């Protein structure tokens, strides 16, 4: 540990807290790709992950590592909670509208789909190839452990509590997340589109697609990019957002490297723009 400047941890929940404490005490940056530091409330962490905070002060030092939202806080932090994949897709899609107060906060529905790599390496029946191939279904409807993380981030964006309906689905593909999000709006659609374009015009990894285009996981595969498209059901005053990321890159390792770049003073895109080997 003493020979390291930065340590990345990709451990099961409950196992990152002690090494994180050791790193912070030594002035070593600790980037946790697990869930140990994502939730601010210990009771929620215990409810969804069955663990407790071993050091409340340590958890108070953790910064949520969604670079597009918390860039300045990340730069000066030694402890980063790398966001989950579903929360990354949802937060980037909703942030501009919530921050500007342009959408309602009491009826947000997130319908998200993930490739099977989102389940990790553990063998399960529903990710076994004969089970998931040529199949498509929801899972953990209303009880997925990423819901409190999503609500926590969206509430920060809105400056008030946000509750969501969140249903994940398992796609029969290797990688990628597509979130389709429904929310109420009462403003000119042109204002909403302008809000998104201005929010992300300087962001190297977020692209707001033009009118009529649709976010597609194929177009972000193996990249650290997030593509967002806006669609309007004008008679019903519904804004429909589509957000696509690669769950293994922007939803995990790529975002962790982006955090490291910010902390270490590197160009934020360093190591994240090359074409990755496909599988």
Strands lying side by side in the sheet with 206-208: 137-138, 164-170, 108-114, 177-184, 238-245, 226-233, 206-208
Tokens 């990709």 correspond to 10
Residue in 67, 69, 92, 107 with CA at minimum distance from that of residue 230 = 92
> How many Cα atoms are found within 13 Å in the side-chain-facing hemisphere of 58?
20
**Strand 108-114 versus strand 177-184 pairing type:** antiparallel
d(CA 29, CA 36): 16
Residue in 191, 192, 181, 189 with CA at minimum distance from that of residue 215 = 181
Annotated catalytic residue within 23, 67, 85, 183: 85
**Active site annotation includes 242:** no
- Residues known to be catalytic: 85
């Amino acid at each position: 540990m003493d020979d390291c400047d930065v340590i990345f941890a990709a451990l099961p929940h409950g196992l990152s807290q002690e090494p994180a404490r050791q790193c912070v005490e030594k002035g070593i940056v600790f980037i946790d790709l697990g869930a140990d530091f994502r939730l601010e409330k210990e009771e929620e962490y215990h409810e969804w992950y069955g663990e407790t905070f071993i050091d409340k002060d340590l958890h108070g030092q953790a910064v949520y590592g969604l670079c597009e939202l918390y860039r300045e806080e990340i730069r000066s932090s030694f402890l980063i909670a790398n966001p989950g994949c579903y929360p990354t897709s949802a937060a980037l899609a909703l942030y501009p509208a919530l921050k500007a107060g342009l959408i309602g906060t009491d009826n947000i529905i997130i319908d998200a789909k993930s490739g099977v790599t989102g389940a990790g390496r553990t063998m399960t029946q529903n990710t076994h190839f004969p089970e998931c191939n040529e199949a498509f279904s929801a899972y953990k409807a209303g009880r997925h452990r990423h819901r409190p993380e999503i609500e926590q981030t969206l509430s920060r964006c809105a400056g008030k509590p946000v509750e969501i309906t969140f249903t994940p689905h398992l796609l029969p593909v290797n990688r990628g997340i597509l979130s389709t999000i429904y929310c109420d709006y009462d403003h000119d659609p042109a204002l909403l589109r302008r809000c998104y374009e201005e929010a992300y015009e300087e962001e190297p990894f977020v692209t707001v697609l033009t009118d009529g285009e649709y976010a597609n996981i194929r177009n972000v595969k193996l990249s650290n990019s997030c593509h967002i498209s806006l669609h309007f059901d004008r008679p019903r005053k519904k804004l429909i957002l589509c957000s696509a990321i690669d769950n293994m890159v922007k939803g995990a390792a790529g975002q962790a490297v982006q955090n490291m770049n910010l902390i270490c003073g590197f160009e934020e895109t360093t190591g994240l723009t090359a074409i990755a080997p496909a599988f």
